[in-house]
Amino acid sequence: MDRASVAPVRAVTIGRTVLLSGGSGGAWLAPVLARVLGPGNLTVVVNVGDDLDWHGLRVCPDLDTVLYALGGHLDTGRGWGRSGDTFVATAALAALGEASWFGVGDRDLATHLVRSEHLASGRSLTEATEALGRQLGAGAVTVVPASDQLCPTRLELEDGRWVGFQEWYVGERAEPAVRTVAPGQGPAASAALEALAAASAVVLGPSNPLTSIGTILALDGMAEAVGRVPLRFAVSPVAATAPPPGAVAHHALARRQLLGASGDVDSPAGIAGHYARRYPGLVDSFVLDIQDAAQAPDVECLGMRPVLTRLLDPLQVATTLAGLFAAGPGAVPVHHGQGGIPMVAAWLPRREKGGARSAPSGPAR
Cα 212 from Cα 138, distance rounded (Å): 21
Does 333 map to a domain? Answer: yes
Q: Are 304 and 276 in contact (CB under 8 A)?
A: yes
On whether residue 71 sits in a domain, the answer given is no
- d(CA 69, CA 81) in angstroms, rounded, equals 10
Q: What is the spatial distance between Cα 55 and Cα 102, in angstroms, rounded to a whole number? A: 10
Q: CA 125, 129, 134: angle at the middle one, nearest 5?
A: 155
Tell me whether residue 131 is in a domain: no
**Other Cβ atoms closer than 10 A to 92:** 11
Which strands make up the sheet holding 305-309, listed edge to edge? 142-145, 42-46, 17-21, 201-204, 231-235, 285-289, 305-309, 346-347
- Domain membership of residue 54 (yes or no) is no
Q: How many domains does the chain have?
A: 1
Q: Is residue 87 part of a domain?
A: no
What pLDDT is attached to residue 137?
A: 95
**The CATH number of the domain where 325 resides is what?**
3.40.50.10680
The 10 Å Cβ neighbour count of residue 356 is: 8
Question: Is 188 domain-assigned?
Answer: yes
What is the residue type of 55? H
Q: What does the pLDDT read at residue 327?
A: 80
Measure the CA–CA gap between 232 and 234, rounded to whole angstroms: 7
3-state SS, 294-342, equals HHHHHHHHCCCEEEEECCCCHHHHHHHHHHHHHHCCCCCCCCECHHHCE
Residue by residue, DSSP assigns 274-292 as HHHHHSTTT-SEEEEEGGG
Tell me whether residue 255 is in a domain: yes
Mean pLDDT by 10 residues, the chain (365 residues): 32 75 95 95 97 95 97 91 94 93 93 98 98 95 97 96 94 93 97 97 96 97 97 93 58 87 92 97 96 96 96 95 79 38 43 32 25
Q: Please give the distance of CA 182 from its chain centroid, rounded to a whole number.
A: 19
CA-to-CA distance for 137 and 154, rounded, in angstroms?
A: 33
Q: Could you please report the per-residue DSSP string of 177-193?
A: -EEEEE----BPPHHHH
Closest CA to 61 of 115, 6, 1, 142: 115
Residue 95 CB partners (closer than 8 Å, separation 6+):
none
What is d(CA 114, CA 279) in angstroms, rounded to the nearest whole number? Answer: 37
Radius of gyration (Cα) for the chain, nearest Å? 20
Using alpha carbons, select from 26, 215, 45 the residue that is nearest to residue 125: 45
DSSP 38-73: -TT-EEEEE--TT-EEETTEEE-HHHHHHHHHHHT-
| Domain, as residue range, for 216 | 3-48+146-347
pLDDT at position 1 is 31
Identify whether 133 is part of a domain: no
